[in-house]
Amino acid sequence: MKLIPIAALTLALATSLTGCGEDQAAVCSSVDDLQTSVDEVRDIDVSSSGALGDLESGLTAIGSDLSDVKSDAKTEFSSQIDTVQASFDALTESVDAAKASASAATLSAAATALSTFGSDVRTLITDVQETC
């Protein structure tokens, strides 16, 4: 089934994020929003006929939350955010390619892009949490 790799993608992404403490600066709050969006993507029923569309919508929400993190962080985490943005863009392109033409190659590319994105997000989250 072609959607099984999507389940692995969303689970890996969801487990890569953690939240900040109670009294949060704006960037901590936006990181929590980012995690919420990732959790929603994780909960997508990958066996449904609309799973790829749901994933695409979830990535849109993640992109919006990432923009909020970028805005709230100002220049403090600019290097990490630039890295995450680049890997998010690559992930989005890979998912779009898989949606347009699902194959082992496009799903594999999406999995690789997700792995990179997950690693980059973990670095950003760790750095942000140190300030929360």
Measured on CA atoms in the order 14, 20, 21, 23, is the torsion positive or negative? negative
CA distance 74 to 80: 12
Which letter does DSSP use for residue 2 in this model?
Answer: T
Which letter does DSSP use for residue 17 in this model?
Answer: -
pLDDT by position in tens, the chain (length 132): 555 666 556 555 554 444 444 335 799 999 988 888 877 877 888 778 887 788 889 999 999 999 999 999 878 899 999 999 999 999 999 988 988 998 889 888 988 888 898 889 889 988 888 888
- What residues does each domain of the chain span? 4-129
User: Which secondary-structure segment (H or E) carries 130?
Assistant: none
Which letter does DSSP use for residue 35 in this model?
Answer: H
At residue 60, the pLDDT reads 94
| Mean of the per-residue pLDDT values of the chain | 81
